[in-house]
Amino acid sequence: MRKTSAQWLSEFLRHLQGERRLSPHTVAAYGRDLQQLLEFCRQRDIASWDALTGAQLRLFVAERHHQGLSGRSLQRLLSAVRAFYRYLLRAGVASNNPAQGLKAPKSPKRLPKAISADQAVQLVAIEGSEPLTLRDRALLELFYSSGLRLSEIATLDLLQLDLGEGMVRVTGKGSKQRDVPVGSHALTALQLWLDARAAIARPGETAVFVAENGQRLSGRQIERRVAHWARRQGIGQPVYPHMLRHSFASHLLESSGNLRAVQELLGHANLSTTQVYTHLDFQHLAKVYDAAHPRARKRGGA
């Protein structure tokens, strides 16, 4: 039996998740974009994916732009369509890629928001020895110390921490692993939390950060804890996890001027669209980090 357009779309999304191992967030975004394209085809009686022409796709993109979709979102949409048609071409379902050569309008670049170094220090200076207070202090210190993504913190397991070496191994976008240094303040905070964690975590729970019920702290819960402490510590503006990542990058770059090292510490982050990624070994990254990051220096040091 011949597969429908909707069935091919479902197979492609399963391919992205199972074989390409893209993040659930990326797969969901591709799915929303392609579902809207499928609806566009249905409304115009375009019977199959192979029947969609470049002119019709341009009309679809123009409509989405008219509805207020940003240039960046349109670029993501076209990336989804290109990837989908590459999949269809390999499967012999399509004979051409209607997105080939089609470009989205450019959006003005927005500078990432960051808090100052003083505000970052103020944020993590949490008083108290309650277990959940120790957890939140360690959470915030690790965010700012190592510039991790929310997903990397939320999925962090105990085996990924090496407090003796002052390092955390994380799996970022595209299932790529990287080793990131952890500053001395964060190491101290993590050790205090891990000592308290033992009395809270459920047997067999592998997560570094757990909720009061002993189970892994979710991404949404982490977002709420960051926002809570930003208010409680008097930061004076909303703070969210990705802002701490931007702050890490901004402060480290300001101090070191080493864009390529910061880029690798972030895991291929596009600090500059023109910067060619250059591999630097972990020892060199650690030296740049120790010399430049304001929370990496030992207490009592210069």
Residue 242 contacts residue 114 (beta carbons within 8 Å): no
Closest CA to 181 of 300, 261, 290: 290
Active site residues: 149, 173, 242, 245, 268, 277
Which residues are within 8 A (CB) of 205 and not within 5 positions of it... i.e. 6 or more apart?
A: 214, 215, 216
Q: Name the residue among 87, 71, 69, 58 with its Cα closest to residue 32.
A: 69
Determine the Cα–Cα distance for residues 145 and 265; give it in Å rounded to an integer: 11
Question: CA distances (Å), 239 to each of 144, 242, 247, 249, 271, in order?
Answer: 12, 8, 11, 16, 20
d(CA 4, CA 8): 6
**What tokens were used for 94?**
């399509």
Task: Compute the CA torsion angle 69, 72, 76, 79 (nearest 10 deg).
Answer: 120
Contact 157, 206 (CB under 8 A): yes
